[in-house]
């Protein structure tokens, strides 16, 4: 079905705005996936704040010009579904990787982060990146560990003295 020029401009503008605010992008081939499965994928993507769109390759190439994702142009072959992570760099990778596990026809083609195009085999690297909350909790645990260890050490000294005095008291009671 032919798309009017105004609609094409609107699609290019919308995808360009999403690309400018995105942290990472994942491209996949969706041939053979049912409409109901794609609807479920879209629902999951919305829940994880992932921008998901099926876009013609020619329009997508124009939309990513002068963005960090200009490098994905060389991977645009065949039917493509595009996922941009808006808040968490690994969100799109996690959503599409989980979807690909249950759908053998769904194939991840490429991904991009920081202006670099990466092979689909690198999806695990991107998908295992911690979320913002997880990264903060890891940082806080690293910062808290030395303080906790110091507090335990300081508490241990009087505890040892107390246990030693109690042991001496018990020995004197047994001797008496």
Q: pLDDT tens track of the chain, all 176 residues? A: 677 888 888 888 888 888 888 888 888 888 888 888 888 888 988 888 888 888 888 888 888 788 878 888 888 888 888 888 888 788 888 888 888 888 888 888 888 887 788 777 777 766 767 777 777 888 888 888 888 888 888 788 787 788 888 888 988 888 87
In Å, the largest CA–CA distance within the chain is 103
Closest CA to 54 of 81, 73, 76: 81
> Which tokens in the block code for residue 24?
């990472």
Cβ(23)–Cβ(85) below 8 Å = yes
pTM (2 decimals)?
A: 0.69
């Amino acid at each position: 079905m032919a798309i009017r020029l105004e609609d094409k401009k609107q699609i290019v503008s919308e995808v360009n705005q999403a690309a400018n605010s995105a942290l990472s992008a994942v491209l996949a081939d969706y041939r053979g996936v049912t409409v109901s499965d794609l609807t479920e994928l879209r629902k999951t993507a919305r829940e994880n704040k992932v921008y998901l769109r099926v876009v013609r390759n020619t329009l997508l190439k124009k939309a990513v010009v002068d963005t960090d994702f200009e490098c994905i142009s060389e991977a645009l072959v065949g039917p493509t579904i595009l996922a941009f992570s808006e808040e968490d760099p690994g969100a799109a990778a996690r959503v599409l990787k989980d979807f690909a596990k249950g759908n053998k026809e769904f194939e991840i083609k490429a991904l991009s982060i920081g202006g670099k195009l990466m092979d689909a085999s690198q999806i695990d690297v991107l998908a295992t990146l911690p979320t913002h909350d997880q990264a903060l909790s890891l940082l806080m645990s690293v910062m808290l560990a030395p303080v906790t260890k110091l507090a335990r050490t300081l508490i241990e000294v009087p505890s040892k003295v107390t246990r030693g005095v109690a042991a001496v008291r018990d020995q004197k009671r047994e001797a008496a």
